[in-house]
Amino acid sequence: MPKVIPVSDDLSQPFWDAINDKRLVLQNCTSCDKLQYPPLASCQVCGSAEVLEWKEVDGKGRVATYIVIEDGRLNRRMPDQPYNLALVTLDADPSVNFYSNLPGVAAYEAPVGAAVEVMFEEVAPGQLIHEWRVVE
């Protein structure tokens, strides 16, 4: 399935640099100890901007729910339809969510509640993205 090639900015560059090193890092507010994704200029809980740091997390989570994309409008993904779009919650903080097509899982067969772990896939020379795979 074709993947979107990320375009980083000053705010997201540390995230993408870590992904290219096959590590998952998230912003962490040292004031309220809250992880957040995607990267923001300030903490989404307490609003503090001065105390955000990058924290490595283990990249384990669960499939919370999913939908199947049958009639999406992204031209480069139309040939792959239908495909899963799963909501993954992070074990380190279940309020942090990611989306994944769950590589290797057939459409309509996403296992809700299943354990997943982050994986890294090359989408362009020198550029990785994060995806989530079901762990047995």
Tens of pLDDT, residues 46-83? 999 889 999 999 999 999 999 999 988 877 777 788 99
- CA-nearest of 37, 40, 36, 34 to 11 is 40
The length of the chain in residues reads 136
Relative to beta strand 115-124, strand 60-69 is: antiparallel
What average pLDDT does the structure give for the chain? Answer: 94
Whether residue 42 contacts residue 29, with contact meaning beta carbons closer than 8 Å, is answered with: no
Among all chains, which residue has been given the structure tokens 């001065």?
Answer: 50
pLDDT for res 72: 83
